[in-house]
Amino acid sequence: MSWTIDFLPNEQILRVTTHGTMDLALIKQMAREALDAGLAHQALRYLIDHRDMIPALSSEDIFDLPKINADMGVGRTMRVAIVFSPDSPRAEDFFYYDVRNLSKGSSNIRQFSDLQQALDWLLT
């Protein structure tokens, strides 16, 4: 598997740590498992650590991700912090996804290159 999921009870955050190359099918599977785990823990805050993941997505895949997320159940009451490596060979994909989310008015999904900033945002 290309990810691990754990719950941080003190912070009430569901953490997903990904590894390797992930295409759209794997990202959707990871999201489904994370949402299921979040539901089991009644979590509304998610930390997605993609610092060790390289996306294998087309521009169309990234364009569709906000709708895919909504269709899977990512709601406005949830906060999702995505952490990526600015040195990623596909860093532009993370930037494109961020712009796409902002263009859809999604203020509850944010991207960070610093883990502590992501945690701080989730906890505010």
Mean pLDDT, range 91-104, rounded to an integer: 91
- Spell out the residues 6+ positions from residue 123 whose beta carbon is closer than 8 angstroms to its own: 11, 45
51-74 burial by CB neighbour count: b if 16+ within 10 A, else e?
bebbbbbeeebbeebbeebeeeeb
Q: Whole domain around residue 103: which residue ranges?
A: 3-123
Residues 42-75 pLDDT 10s: 999 999 999 999 999 999 999 999 999 999 999 9
What's the total number of domains in the chain? Answer: 1
> What is the CATH number for 115?
3.30.750.24
